[in-house]
Amino acid sequence: MTETLPERLATIVGASYVSVDPDVLAGRSVDHTGRYRGRASALVRPASENEVAEVLRVCHEAGVCVTVQGGRTSLVAGTVPEYDDVLLSTERLRDVGEVDVVERRVHVGAGVTLAEVQRAASAAGLVFGVDLAARDTATVGGMASTNAGGLRTVRYGNMGEQVLGLDVVLPDGSVVQRHSQVRSDNTGYDLASLFVGSEGTLGVITGLDLRLHPAPRHRVTAICGFADLHALIETGRVFRDMEGIAALELIDARASVLTAEHVGVGAPVEGAWQLLIELAGDADLTERLAEALEPAELSGEPAVGVDATAQQRLWQVREAVAEVLGVYGPPLKFDVSLPLSAIPNFAAESAELVAAHAPHAIPVLFGHVGEGNLHLNIVRCALAGDAEQTLYAAMMTLIARCGGNVSSEHGVGTRKRDYVSMARTVPDIAAMRAVKTAFDPDGYLNPAVLFERHRPVTVTTDAAT
């Protein structure tokens, strides 16, 4: 065989959609934070399910590993290649089907962004249940692969609860299309749930049937300040199970200082900790909000938004946090899930850890407190190499000691694979490996993700040269 692998890929997708340019590959081989880098041999951008299937077949025959990329917003280096991989981007899988307003669902390609799904739902008078700050770049295929959560999880659940069906290309190039027009379908294994959260290790999601929801007619949003984190957690307990809860977000006042300084968005309340609360429903819930806040130990009066403009201003306080995290260079990120009762101790002990390992760094804690899913970002963190690894390992140990999970909505990726055993037993990990082996016996698809490094498959033909 005289064709090189890039030439064979070009015959599948077109020469303009294959690149071996070193600058292009370098830009595609770094994670969203800029902290972790890998290396790739080629980038291929198929435009259909059939093209994805043929690309996987050709790469498998050539013995070349494949790393799948969507919007590349992973915060755990989940799209960073490690084996001179071929990068398979889903960005051209862009179809958005007609919204079914009766069944409240829509079929979209894996490369469609969250914002595009939201716009399609809104135009039909519906809402999509998952929302992220990275909505303009995060793709729904990647979000399903990591079972993303986000700002509305407390009301609608994670991404997996929005997925009604999937199109998936398996590592051998065969295609699974799991769709059903009925809401209850228990025919055989729930394969769709298996692929959701598998981080691209079992197959490439190419299309999704997504659940949509009725749009609530009324919203009321508030930001409350607290001097004591325990008091905020108790208030969060009250709201998280309340009928009509739409969002429940913790914001560290240290984050508010950064957003005020760098993007001009400051907190409208006093206190070391802030809680953003949103209620939504068919009736005005302002009185219910006021009644629930009556016993709360607040630092002054809450800021309340009833109309859309005021609500948007309050949401800017939360969403601006993502804009400032990289002001002092790539932050060191931790995505954790904790019991609510453990959050105050974790906040204090994690700050002590940071002070001991990186005295000039700023720990910023925020996230979806209704689920105990928090994001700890260490800003102005100059650590690298062994020093960074030492802090990372110590933080993972602290999370486990607090009864938490080492990964919540961002997945494991490559960054957290060495810590899976802190959250899963040996038989559990063995069972996951057995599933991986069943779908991808040669271990060539996303080989660096979830488990410790696999040995790359052996090149068996000249096609990979």
CATH number at residue 115: 3.30.465.10
User: Distance (Å, rounded) from C-alpha 223 to C-alpha 268?
Assistant: 8
Domain that holds residue 105: 96-182+189-214
- Report if residue 459 sits inside a domain: no
**Residues 56 and 118 reside in one and the same domain:** no
Whether residue 442 is contained in a domain is answered as: no
* Judgement on whether residues 221 and 319 belong to the same structural domain of the protein: yes
Same domain, 249 and 290: yes
In this prediction, residue 228 carries a pLDDT of 95
Quick: pLDDT tens for 37-72. Answer: 889 999 999 999 999 999 999 999 999 999 999 887
What single-letter DSSP state applies at residue 422? G
Question: How far is the C-alpha of 370 from the C-alpha of 155, rounded, in Å?
Answer: 9
Nearest Cα to Cα of residue 132 among 116, 156, 148:
148
Residues in the chain: 465
Residue 462 within a domain: no
Boundary-marking domain end, from 327, 343, 361: 327
d(CA 119, CA 122): 5
Q: Contact 133/322 with Cβ under 8 angstroms?
A: yes
pLDDT (tens digit per residue) in 418-431: 888 888 899 999 99
Q: How confident is the model at residue 2 (pLDDT cuts 50, 70, 90)?
A: low
Within a domain: 235: yes
Highest mean pLDDT among 72-76, 178-182, 207-211, 461-465: 207-211
Q: Report the CATH number at residue 345.
A: 3.30.70.2740
Percent of the chain surpassing pLDDT 70? 96
Judge whether 429 lies within some domain. Answer: no
Question: Quick one: pLDDT at residue 465?
Answer: 37
Considering the domain architecture, whether residues 106 and 21 belong to the same structural domain is answered as: no
Instruction: Say how many domains are in the chain.
Output: 4
Q: What is the mean pLDDT of the chain?
A: 91
342: in domain: yes
Residue 301's CATH number: 3.30.70.2190
Do 123 and 203 fall within a single domain? Answer: yes
59: domain CATH number is 3.30.43.10
Same domain (yes/no): 129, 194: yes
Per-residue tokens: 68: 């799948």
Q: What is the pLDDT of residues 224-262, one digit of tens each?
A: 999 999 999 999 999 999 999 999 999 999 998 889 988
* Statement to judge: residues 391 and 333 lie in one domain: yes
Task: Please tell me the distance from the alpha carbon of residue 290 to that of residue 298, in angstroms, as a whole number.
Answer: 12
Q: Are residues 75 and 176 in the same domain?
A: no
Residue 216, Cβ density class (10 Å: 0-12 exposed, 13-18 middle, ≥19 buried): middle
Domain edge (last residue) among 327, 360, 391: 327
Residues 337 and 287 placed together within one structural domain of the fold: no
Select from 28, 57, 89 the last residue of a domain. 89
**Maximum CA pair distance of the chain?**
76
Which two tokens mark 187? Answer: 């025919």
Q: Do residues 144 and 254 both lie within one domain? A: no
CB 197 within 8 A of CB 160: yes
Residues 247 and 237 in one domain: yes
- Please check whether residue 439 lies inside any domain of the structure: no
**pLDDT, position 36:** 81
* 461 lies in some domain: no
Is 432 within 8 Å of 445 (Cβ atoms)?
Answer: no
Do 333 and 293 lie in one domain? The reply is no
